[in-house]
Amino acid sequence: MPATRELSWTHTDIEGSVDAHINLLDREEVYFTDQEPRFEIIIENNTAFDVNHSTVAWVIAIGQGRPEPFIRDHISDISISAGDQYAIEISKEPLSLEGHAIIALGSGIIRQVDEENNSIKFKASKSKKEQYEPLTTFSVWDREHYEVVHEQPQRTQQFALFASFGIVFFAVVQLGTVLGYPIIGLLGGFGILGIYWYSGFLSELIETLLDHHEV
């Protein structure tokens, strides 16, 4: 599940802050290397000043730890009225690489306050590895790798439990038949079926089988 956070920048000469957060327009539990998910960065001007002639750089970095950005872009000459916001939609290209992904802004600063014109200048344009500020992090997988690591072991476990249910069911029915009470044995078998069903395991297994069949 993607983790997100809000960024805020302030200045000693003004009240309020310039804030940034990210909307996951194509939210997924897991992202894959062949996907081109859309993200929306929102810059909010929560000050009494207008933001003028400002620059925002954003990056996507994938790897381990704090990886080097492999996608970079920026928007210049941004203007945001006091109390308003500005949206930047990211939808560039496939994620391509497998690993820990970060979408971030360049290191930001309110660098100029013009009280005469009631305006400020904001800049978030330094986007080197050690200077970007993450907005969201998430995992990116190759589909085949994800299948081997996550899906196959889960299906193996589910089928093993299903097999154990079958063994118990037929053992109860057979025991009742041997003792001369086949109806009781059959009812006991259906009782076992009911326990599995109400535990949620059987319905989950059926859904998994149907989903796998559709794929």
* pLDDT tens-digit readout, 96-125: 888 888 999 988 788 778 887 888 888 887
Q: How many domains is the chain partitioned into structurally?
A: 2
Report pLDDT for 131.
Answer: 75
Are 157 and 203 contained in the same domain? yes
Residue 36 and residue 50: Cα distance in Å, rounded?
A: 34
For 42-99, the pLDDT digits (tens) are 999 999 999 998 888 888 888 888 888 888 888 888 899 999 999 998 876 788 888 8
Find the CATH number of the domain harbouring 15. Answer: 2.60.40.10
Give the end of a domain, one of 141, 166, 200. Answer: 141
Are 102 and 21 contained in the same domain? yes
* Cα-based distances in Å from 57 to 95, 206, 208: 18, 47, 43
Judge contact between 111 and 14, C-beta under 8 A.
Answer: no
Are 83 and 101 contained in the same domain? yes
For 140-192, the pLDDT digits (tens) are 988 888 887 766 666 666 666 666 666 766 666 676 676 666 666 666 666 66
Give the end of a domain, one of 99, 121, 141. Answer: 141
For 8-20, the pLDDT digits (tens) are 888 888 889 999 9
C-beta neighbour count of 60 within 10 angstroms: 22
Are 73 and 96 contained in the same domain? yes
Kindly provide the residue ranges of all beta strands, DSSP E only, lying in 37-191, ordered along the sequence: 39-47, 50-63, 69-80, 85-90, 99-114, 119-126, 132-141
Are 73 and 112 contained in the same domain? yes
Higher pLDDT residue, 212 or 207? 207
Are 99 and 200 contained in the same domain? no
Give the end of a domain, one of 78, 107, 141. Answer: 141
Residue 182 phi, psi (nearest 5): -60, -35
Report pLDDT for 215.
Answer: 46
Q: Of 141, 193, 145, nearest to 169 (Cα)?
A: 193
pLDDT band of 21, cuts 50, 70, 90 = very high
Residue 24 and residue 98: Cα distance in Å, rounded?
A: 19
* Domain enclosing residue 95, as ranges: 3-141
CA 142 to chain centre: 15
Judge contact between 73 and 92, C-beta under 8 A.
Answer: yes
Report pLDDT for 47.
Answer: 92
CB proximity list for 171: less than 8 A, separation 6 or greater = none
Are 124 and 184 contained in the same domain? no
Are 100 and 28 contained in the same domain? yes
Average the pLDDT over each of 19-33, 61-75, 191-205 and give the range with the smallest value: 191-205
- The alpha helices in the chain, defined as continuous H runs, are 143-146, 152-178, 182-198, 201-214
Judge contact between 46 and 59, C-beta under 8 A.
Answer: no
Are 125 and 73 contained in the same domain? yes
Are 137 and 157 contained in the same domain? no
C-beta neighbour count of 135 within 10 angstroms: 21
Are 124 and 155 contained in the same domain? no
pLDDT band of 213, cuts 50, 70, 90 = very low
Residue 116 and residue 98: Cα distance in Å, rounded?
A: 50
Are 132 and 161 contained in the same domain? no
